[in-house]
Amino acid sequence: MKRYEGRRSLVTGGGSGIGQATVLRMLSEGGRVVAADVSEAGLADTVTKAGDAADRLHTVVVNVADEASVKAGVAEAAEWLGGIDALVNAAGILRSSHTHETSVESFEQVLRINLVGTFLMIREAIPSLREGNGSAVVNFSSTSANFAHPYMSAYAASKGGIQSMTHALAAEYAKEGIRFTAVQPGSISSGMTDGSGASKQSEGPGLPADADMMLLAKLQPALGQGFAGPETVASVVAMLASDDGRFITGTEVRIDGGTHQ
């Protein structure tokens, strides 16, 4: 299956976890991809894992929370690719703490990276997407946007905002042929959930020491197969951003093994 032959994609968070898995999936299907991440080490790892497909991969260091960095990164991506057909906003941060112990700085950091970062990437990419072929944007919401996950109020707020923004953007740009969808990962093992991600914009939750163990039980997939790998989400993202998803916009897809029903 070569759905991405001739297709030009920009993926944030491409240095680890689901973002990296998405980059590798698009490359495996013949695409040309720019992987953006705050971590140079993470991007180097992606290049290594790309193997023979590395000649169709370009990397750029981008801090999605910084407007100037986003402007420069998207411009470099569009120039190298010769345009942008698909944008995947996988960069994000997950922090957990008791709300009454959460500082304004910590709360705003999560919103800045997750929500404002997604907005900035989209805003800067829209001129290229307007000229793209079958243009599509896939944003990253979360099951936290619809289901109660204690200790994650900032994260839930950011992901709920991304989800609502996705619907608004889908309506705003429908006549211009740009599709906007979101994925809601849950019960996925990645650098974000286990804290092993190389990217500082993909940190683990660090649950409070007295966290209710019932929370951990709630996050177990109903399918009984344990947490899924990042490639599980990448496959859905690749579908949504390809021509196979041409009749899908203004909606989200939950990928959680039936954890939330």
Average pLDDT, the chain: 89
Distance CA 1, CA 8 (A): 16
By annotation, the residues acting in catalysis are 155
Q: Which residues of 177-203 are buried (b: 16+ CB within 10 A; e: fewer)?
A: ebbbbbbbbbbbebbbbeeebbbebbb
Distance CA 180, CA 166 (A): 6
Predicted confidence (pLDDT) at residue 205 exceeds the cutoff of 90: no
Q: Are 16 and 40 in contact (CB under 8 A)?
A: no
Domains of the chain (ranges; CATH) run 8-249 (3.40.50.720)
User: Which pLDDT band, with edges at 50, 70 and 90, does 86 fall under?
Assistant: very high
* pTM (2 d.p.): 0.89
Give the mean model confidence (pLDDT) for residues 142-168. Answer: 92
User: Which pLDDT band, with edges at 50, 70 and 90, does 143 fall under?
Assistant: confident
What pLDDT was estimated at residue 190?
A: 64
> Which residues are within 8 A (CB) of 81 and not within 5 positions of it... i.e. 6 or more apart?
8, 9, 10, 32, 34, 58
> Above pLDDT 90, what percent of the chain?
73
What pLDDT was estimated at residue 229?
A: 83
What pLDDT was estimated at residue 210?
A: 61
